[in-house]
Amino acid sequence: MEMGEKMNKEALVVCSDKSTCIGITVWDLETGEQLLHIPTCAAAPHGLFCLRNQFIVASQSNRHGSFGGGSIFIWPLNKPQSPLRSYTLEAMGPISCTKDGLYIAGGAPSGNAYLWEVTSGRLLRTWHAHHKSLKCMVFSDDDSLLLFGCTDGIISVWSMISLVDVEDSGSSPSLLYYSSEHRSSITGLVTMSAGARSIFISSSLDGTCKVWELVSGRHLQTLVYPMSVTAIALHPLERLLFSGSVDGNIFVNVLDIGAVEDCFITTEDQAFVLKVHNESITALTFSGFHLISASEDFTFCLWDTINRVVLRRFNNRKGAVTNMVVIKQSSLFPISNHQRVTHQFQVSLLQKYPQPSNPGKGMATFLSFPASRSKPPPTHFLGNNLLDHLISGSEQEEQTPAMLQTKLEKNIDDRLWVTSMTKHVMEISKHLQCRLLDMMQCRLLCNPYEPDSSPKKKRHKIQSQNQTPTEQSQ
C-alpha cells in the first residue's frame, strides 16, 4: 500500500560543493526525513543531475585519487553503493544531459567542453568553447542545441548535430551564435518548451535576466533586478519566473513573451518577493508546483507559491546546498521482478580520451520498444487474407490477385470442359430425339410443320437433366 503511494511521490536530492564529507542527501519533501545518504560527493554548481530517472550524476569538484584531472560519478539510485567512477582530463564544473539520457555534456573551468555518449561512454567531442570558466549549460528542449553560460557573461549556443557529426567534415559550423549582452557571470539558463517558438532565459550577476529566442539568438526582453541574480527557475506552467538574488530574496515575475518588441522590465514594482533566506540563493527548483529554494545560509525551503508561505524548512547543517534535483521516489527502490525494464540502455564509464571512430563498428541500440512486453501485439489471421482474396476475386471478376483463384479456375476449367463435352453430346442426342418426335407427330397428326417446338424441347430437357449431374455453366 505504501509502495504504491510512494511511486508517484517526489524526493529531493541535494549536495554541496564545499566538502566531500557532506555528500549527497535524498530528502522526502513531505515528511522531511532523509531517505538516502551518499557520502563523499561535492559537486560544483550545476554539476548534479538525474539521468533517465535512474542515476544520479555528479561532477566532483574535489578530486578522488585522480591525478590532475576531474571525475564524474554515476550512482544508480537503487544501488548507490557501487557508483561508476569516470575520470576526466580536467576537473568538471557544470554538467548536463539530454532529455533522452543519451548524451552528457560537461564544462571545465578552462572553457573546454566535453560531450559523451552515455551508452558507449565514448567521448564524442572535446572543444574549446569559451575563454573563461563555464558556469552552466543546458540542452534545448528538443535536445538539438546546447547552451553554455560563461563567467564573462557570454552565452553560446551550439548545434548538437554538427558537434557530434561523425564525419566532421567541418562544412557546418557547430556554433550558432554568441551573445555577450550580459556584463557579468551567467548564473542560470533555463529553456522553455513553448512550442515552435523556442525561448530561453539567462540570469546573470549583473542583476538582469534576459529572454532570448533560442535559434536566432534574438534578445526579446530584459528583466532588471536591484540585486545580482544567482539562480532562476521557471514555474512548470512557464508563466512565472522565479529569480533568487544575492541577498536571499526571490523575485517572482510574470513572463510575457508574446510581446514582439524588445523591452525592459524593471522588476521592482512588478515582481513580488519571497523572502525567508538571509544569504545568497544558491539554487531553485520545482517539485510539482512547489518551489524549493536553497541558500548559503545552510537551509532550503519548500514553498507554496500561491500563498507565498514556506511549507517546510530544511536545515542541511553541514554546509550550503548548491545543487538540487527532484527525482521520483520510486527510482530509489530496488527493482522488483515484475517491473523490471529490460529495454534499458546501459550506462558505461565515460572515456577520458576521444577514440578514433571505427566506421565498421556499429551502434548499440534497442529496436522498437514494444509498448507492453507481457501482451503480444494483436495479430491477424492469414486465412482471412486468403478468403479476402477469394471474396474480392469473386466480387470483381477482372481482379483475381490470388493465385488460388487461378488455380481454382484451372481446376474448374478442366471440369467445365468435361461437362460441356457431356452437354454437347446430350444436346445432339436431344436434338435428334426432337427431330424424331417431330417427325412422329407430323406423321401421326398430319398437321403442318410448326417451327416453334420449344415447349416440347423443354420437356425433353427436363427429362434429360436427370442424367447430367452438372448443368450450371450456362
Residues 429-458 contacting another protein, CB under 8 A:
none
Longest dimension (CA), the chain: 137
398 contacts another protein (rule: CB under 8 A): no
Choose, by CB under 8 A, the member of 19, 278, 366, 431 that binds another protein. Answer: 366
The one among 6, 18, 64, 132 contacting another protein by CB under 8 A: 132
Give the residue with the Cβ less far from another protein, 28 or 213.
213
**Which CB atom, from 219 or from 457, has the smaller least distance to another protein?**
219
Which range in 4-12, 31-39, 164-172, 320-328 contacts another protein by CB under 8 A?
164-172
CB of 112 to another protein, least distance (A): 8
* Closest distance to another protein from the beta carbon of 319 (Å): 30
- Answer whether 327's CB lies under 8 Å from 52's CB: no
- Strand arrangement, sheet containing 43-51: 43-51, 55-60, 70-76, 84-88
* Residue 310 interacting with another protein (CB under 8 A): no
283: nearest Cα among 273, 293, 274, 298: 293
Closer by beta carbon to another protein, 16 or else 126:
126
Rounded to whole angstroms, how far apart are CA atoms 117 and 124? 7
* 272 binds another protein, rule: CB under 8 A: yes
Q: Per rule CB under 8 A, is residue 383 in the interface with another protein? A: yes
Residue from the set 165, 279, 297, 438 that interacts with another protein by CB under 8 A: 165
Site string for another protein, 91-130 (x = CB under 8 A): -------x-x-xx-------xx----x-x----x--xxx-
Binders of another protein in range 216-255 (CB under 8 A): 216-217, 219, 222, 224, 239-240, 254
**Of 314-353, which residues contact another protein (CB under 8 A)?**
342, 345-346
Which one among 77, 160, 283, 321 touches another protein, defined by CB under 8 A?
160
Judged by CB under 8 A, the residue of 2, 81, 260, 444 near another protein is: 260
Distances (CA, A) of 212 to 156, 197, 198, 231: 12, 10, 9, 17
Indicate which single residue of 53, 384, 454, 467 sits in contact with another protein (rule: CB under 8 A).
Answer: 384
Residue of the chain from 30, 181, 247, 438 that contacts another protein (CB under 8 A): 181
Task: Record the cell numbers describing residue 399, joined without a space.
Answer: 481482379
Q: Which stretch binds another protein (CB under 8 A): 29-37, 267-275, 315-323, 420-428?
A: 267-275
Q: How far apart are CA 298 and CA 295, in angstroms?
A: 6
**Interface residues for another protein in 2-61 (CB under 8 A)?**
none
Q: How many CA atoms lie within 13 A of 398 on its CB side?
A: 0
Tell the smallest beta-carbon distance from residue 11 to another protein (Å). 24
Query: Any contact of residue 264 with another protein (CB under 8 A)?
Result: yes
- 347's CB contacts (< 8 A; 6+ apart) are 51, 55, 74, 84, 118, 119, 121
Q: How far is the CB of 360 from another protein (least distance, A)?
A: 4
- Separation between Cα atoms, residue 271 and residue 92, nearest integer Å: 35
Q: CB under 8 A: which stretch of 42-50, 55-63, 294-302, 373-381 binds another protein? A: 373-381
- Give the Cα separation of 103 and 277 in Å (integer): 36
DSSP-assigned states of every residue in 6-51: HHH-EEEEEE-SS-TTT-EEEEETTT--EEEEE-S--EEEEEEEEE
| Stretch of residues binding another protein (CB under 8 A), selected from 14-22, 26-34, 75-83, 193-201 | 193-201
Q: Among 33, 336, 353, 363, indicate the residue that binds another protein (CB under 8 A).
A: 363
The strand pair at 229-234 and 323-328 is best described as unpaired
Query: Which listed range, 13-21, 190-198, 277-285, 330-338, lies at the site for another protein (CB under 8 A)?
Result: 190-198
Q: Identify which range of 44-52, 65-73, 317-325, 404-412 contacts another protein by CB under 8 A.
A: 404-412
User: Between residues 369 and 463, which has the closer beta carbon with respect to another protein?
Assistant: 369
- Lookup result for grid cell 564524474: 72
User: CA 301, CA 277: separation in Å to the nearest integer?
Assistant: 9
**Total residues at the site for another protein (CB under 8 A)?**
123
Query: CA distances (Å), 115 to each of 45, 105, 264, 413, in order?
Result: 18, 4, 36, 72
E strands, 255-330, in order: 263-266, 272-275, 281-287, 290-295, 299-304, 309-315, 323-328
